[in-house]
Amino acid sequence: MRVLVIDDEPDLAEFVARLLRRRGDCCQVTHSAESARILLDDQDFDLVLSDLKMPGMSGVDLYDLLNASKHPMANRMAFMSANAPNTPERIRLERTGRPCLEKPFDAARFEEFLLRSQAAAVRSIHDPP
């Protein structure tokens, strides 16, 4: 599986990349939604794992941009978040219906989340909105 990891925290992004590579997945890491947007215009990924809140464009901003333009990667997005419930970003995230993994997490929770995220991405491909 090809996965794009977006997180402004380099250590966390690399931790996620290591977990993915151990599974045999190919991944690319970027540290901003702006740079991810450029990558998504030129490359196809099976899954996009994005931090929710980042400087500049947030993960939900990226999702909204992709979704508004009917970009197929919008339906392949999943999020990671340390934000408390009921924050504006978290409320926006819940409206997307996309999967979200709470930070901090360990390898077992990440694996469970990854399986749910893959299933959600497959469903969205077979049942577009």
Looking at residue 82, the DSSP 8-state letter turns out to be -
Average pLDDT, the chain: 90
Distance (Å, rounded) from C-alpha 98 to C-alpha 120? Answer: 8
Percentage of the chain lying above the pLDDT 70 cut: 93
pLDDT of residue 50: 97
pLDDT digits (tens, 9 = 90+) for 73-90: 999 999 999 876 778 888
pLDDT of residue 125: 53
Q: Which helix (H) or strand (E) holds 51?
A: strand 47-51
Quick one: tokens of 106?
Answer: 């360990």
Tell me what the mean pLDDT of segment 17-36 comes to.
Answer: 96
Q: How far is CA 103 from the centre of its chain?
A: 13
pLDDT of residue 120: 80
Distance (Å, rounded) from C-alpha 60 to C-alpha 14? Answer: 21
Weakest-pLDDT range from 44-48, 86-90, 92-96: 86-90
